[in-house]
């Protein structure tokens, strides 16, 4: 099928075997349009690269082995000239597609709802079978810190952390949200081109928040779509408590990127609220 409608980008770091499973499950998707898959390896590891290179023989799949770790954002943007179609689909390496119509349902929904810029499916953690909390409120730095310390247990703070994590939402309902984690999202190409891909002001985190912020700012909704379901291994790069900050470069980078985000939008109004104010919808 040569008519490419969506380009899928999978960025891997040391999960080669899982990526192979991921790609093969994508190729089993029942779609009536063409899909192009680009796998990028940021591992800088010969053994992992060898596993991924086996995918290059598959139709419409290309594998890019990076000579250095480009970081999450730059790695995705490095293939911008090779993107085809109306949609860009960002997928974490651990995602598995067990429902054969999951991609088609999201793309069809976006085809019928031209005001959507980003859409994401329901994600199930294989570790416990529960939905992953892939929905978040636009972040407040003090809550990002609080959730990793004993402070999150204080009465008022615990309520704010719970709201920030969107624990009150019905994960069975199609709904507008502030932002979606980019573990699995479909992005309208119009939005992707307008933003220049992922924002390179960040290195590893917050680019998904920024993308959704820009979607709302450009009058395109961000939608959680649980009628499509994907599965993940449930392991988060940013997991860990306060003490982990001193041991983990990843967590320290999360703080750095979070501060950059806060500085960038310190004086900005909430773009989702502004969208509703202008369109008078809820």
Alpha helices in 135-270 (DSSP H): 141-146, 155-164, 189-195, 207-217, 249-264
Report the alpha-carbon distance of residue 102 to residue 113 in Å, rounded: 17
Report the alpha-carbon distance of residue 245 to residue 238 in Å, rounded: 10
Q: Which residues contact 150 (CB under 8 A, 6 or more apart)?
A: none
Q: How many CB atoms lie within 10 A of CB 273?
A: 12
| Res 166: pLDDT | 64
Report the alpha-carbon distance of residue 105 to residue 82 in Å, rounded: 24
In the numeric block, which tokens belong to residue 38? 């680009």
207-217 vs 249-264: helix crossing angle, rounded to 10: 20
Burial class of residue 179 (count of CB atoms within 10 Å of its CB; 0-12, 13-18, 19+): buried
Contact 117, 218 (CB under 8 A): yes
Full pLDDT tens readout for the chain, 282 residues = 469 999 999 999 999 999 999 999 999 999 999 999 999 999 999 999 999 999 999 999 999 999 999 999 999 999 999 999 999 999 999 999 999 999 999 999 999 999 999 999 999 999 999 999 899 889 875 455 555 555 656 666 666 555 556 677 899 999 999 999 999 999 999 999 999 999 999 988 899 999 999 999 999 999 999 999 999 997 655 444 444 434 555 667 777 888 898 889 888 999 999 999 999 755
In the numeric block, which tokens belong to residue 212? 């959704």
Residue (of 38, 20, 117) closest to 76 by Cα position: 38
Contact 115, 220 (CB under 8 A): yes
As a whole number of Å, the CA-based R_g of the chain is 18
| Res 163: pLDDT | 54
Burial class of residue 45 (count of CB atoms within 10 Å of its CB; 0-12, 13-18, 19+): middle
Give the CATH class of 4-279.
Answer: alpha beta
Phi-psi region of 27 (alpha: psi -120 to 50; beta: other; left: phi over 0): alpha
């Amino acid at each position: 099928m040569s008519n490419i409608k969506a380009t899928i980008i999978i960025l891997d770091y040391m999960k080669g075997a899982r990526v192979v499973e991921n790609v093969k499950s994508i190729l089993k998707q029942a779609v009536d349009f063409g899909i192009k898959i680009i796998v990028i390896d940021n591992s800088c590891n010969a053994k992992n690269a060898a596993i991924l290179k086996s995918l290059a023989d598959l139709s419409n799949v290309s594998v890019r082995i990076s000579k250095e770790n480009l970081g999450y954002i730059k790695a995705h943007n490095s293939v911008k000239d090779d993107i085809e179609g109306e949609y860009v689909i960002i997928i974490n390496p651990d995602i598995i597609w067990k429902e054969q119509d999951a991609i088609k349902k999201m793309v069809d929904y976006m085809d019928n709802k031209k005001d959507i810029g980003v859409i994401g499916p329901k994600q199930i953690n294989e570790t416990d079978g529960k939905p992953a909390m892939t929905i978040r409120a636009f972040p407040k730095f003090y809550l990002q810190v609080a959730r990793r310390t004993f402070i999150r247990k204080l009465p008022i703070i615990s309520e704010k952390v719970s709201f920030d994590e969107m624990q009150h939402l019905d994960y069975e309902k199609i709904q507008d949200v502030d932002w979606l984690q980019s573990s699995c999202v479909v992005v309208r190409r119009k939005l992707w081109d307008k933003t220049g891909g992922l924002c390179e002001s960040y290195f590893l985190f917050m680019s998904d928040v920024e993308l959704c912020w820009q979607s709302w700012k450009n009058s395109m909704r961000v939608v959680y779509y649980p009628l499509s379901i994907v599965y993940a291994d449930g392991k988060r790069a940013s997991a860990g408590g306060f003490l982990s900050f001193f041991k983990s470069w990843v967590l320290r980078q999360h703080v750095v990127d979070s501060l950059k985000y806060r500085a960038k939008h310190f004086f900005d109004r909430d773009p989702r609220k502004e969208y509703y104010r202008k369109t008078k919808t809820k």
